Amino acid sequence: MELRHLRYFVMVAEERHFTRAAARLNMQQPPLSQQIRALEEELGFELFKRHPKGVDLTAGGHVFLQEAQDILTRVKEGADKAARAAHGIEGQLTVGFTSSAATHPLIPRIVRAYRERFPGVAVSLKEGSAQQLTDATIDGSVDVGILRAPVSRHQRIQFHRLLNEEMFLTLPVGHRLLMGYSGVGEAPAISLKDLADEQFILVRRPGAPGMYANLITACQNAGFNPSIAFEVERMLTNVSLVAAGAGVSIVPASMRDVHKESVVYCPIANAKPRLHAPITLVCRSFNPLPPLQNFIGLSRELSGRSRGTR
């Protein structure tokens, strides 16, 4: 018994007439009659009583009609559900993010737009360090991580760079390098060589190896090895410690609203290499599920608009 047999039977039952049913099925009447006869032989009882004006359902035919309709309905519903899953319209997606990446306005914009465009996908959010999110992506507990720079490479994952943003020097209000700055308007650009005697507060090297290494290199090119006062887990902690007067730090431009009453964000002059902070997606490299593919596509779309606007 095949699904087409059920469809043929339901059509004849609805029309109560073989010729009309055959017309709706876009087939000839004799082959339709043969298929119904074959179905009756397989079932072992008659489905219809034939008469000159058409057919009527037998007692067995009435029961089988309900079952056939239920089967066809379930098959259609299953096919529709599978199609939605195949196109990423339904499903689940776990998104991880680092605190510093989440401060960029692009990230909440992406998550909100994804929820609005794909309301049938259940989105869960997790915070972690770049290394934690990378490990979670490798083991499959996170579908996509949003972080700054890649911290490690693995054959199971791939990276998608969305954008780069400028890094800013973060100084406590009243710092010696801010003498003459009233706090109104753009803060002065400060050269790295003027920071030779400062204590730096940085995210730990395992959490941000690329940005960490670039800063060390830039300081060395400016003639000094930076003195590291603290290494912290989160970039937001950097700013809090700067506000407390524990040292200076360098953070992405999108964090300039954090503790802005206690710290000043200054452009960095003459840094070689130029210091920048990327926004990067990390995800599985093999057989990404449709909800993830849609998230990556939307992220690229919105990041492209963001770059175009700037």
Mean pLDDT of 140-156: 89
- Give yes or no: residues 79 and 131 share one domain: no
CA angle (231, 232, 238) in 5-degree steps: 100
Residues 141 and 231 in one domain: yes
Q: Which of residues 35, 68, 86 is at a domain's end?
A: 86
CATH number at residue 179: 3.40.190.290
Q: What is the pLDDT of residues 83-133, one digit of tens each?
A: 888 888 899 999 999 888 888 999 999 999 999 999 999 999 999 988 899
Q: Are 152 and 70 in the same domain? A: no
**Which residues are CB-neighbours of 173 under 8 A, at least 6 positions away?**
183, 261, 262, 263, 264
Identify the CATH number of the domain in which residue 76 sits: 1.10.10.10
Same domain, 31 and 137: no
pLDDT at 205: 66
106 and 180 assigned to the same domain? yes
Confidence (pLDDT) at 248: 95
Which residues form the domain of 75?
3-86
Claim to verify: residue 72 and residue 110 sit in the same structural domain = no
Cβ count within 10 A of residue 221: 14
Tokens read off for 92:
């689940």
Residue 213 has a pLDDT of 83
Region 154-168 average pLDDT: 91
Which pLDDT does position 208 carry in this prediction? Answer: 56
Q: Do residues 108 and 171 share a domain?
A: yes
**Do 80 and 113 sit in the same domain of this protein?**
no
The residue among 86, 120, 150 that closes a domain is 86
pLDDT band of residue 307 (cuts 50, 70, 90) is low
Examine the domain organization and report whether 233 and 273 are in the same domain: yes
pLDDT at 152 (0 to 100): 81
Judging by DSSP bridges, how do beta strands 227-232 and 54-57 pair with one another? unpaired
Residues 74, 112, single domain; the answer is no
pLDDT for res 62: 92
The reply to whether 137 and 279 lie within a common domain is: yes
Give mean pLDDT, residues 155-171. Answer: 92
Q: What is the pLDDT of residue 87?
A: 85
Does 266 share its domain with 185?
yes
pLDDT surpassing 70 at residue 190: yes
Where a domain ends, among 36, 61, 86?
86
* Domains: count for the chain: 2
The better pLDDT of the pair 216, 212 is held by: 216
Confidence of residue 306 (pLDDT cuts 50, 70, 90): low
Is the model's pLDDT at 78 over the cut of 60? yes
The pLDDT assigned to 206 comes to 54
Q: What is the mean predicted confidence (pLDDT) over 44-65?
A: 92
Q: Is the pTM of this model over 0.85?
A: no
Average of per-residue pLDDT values in the chain: 90
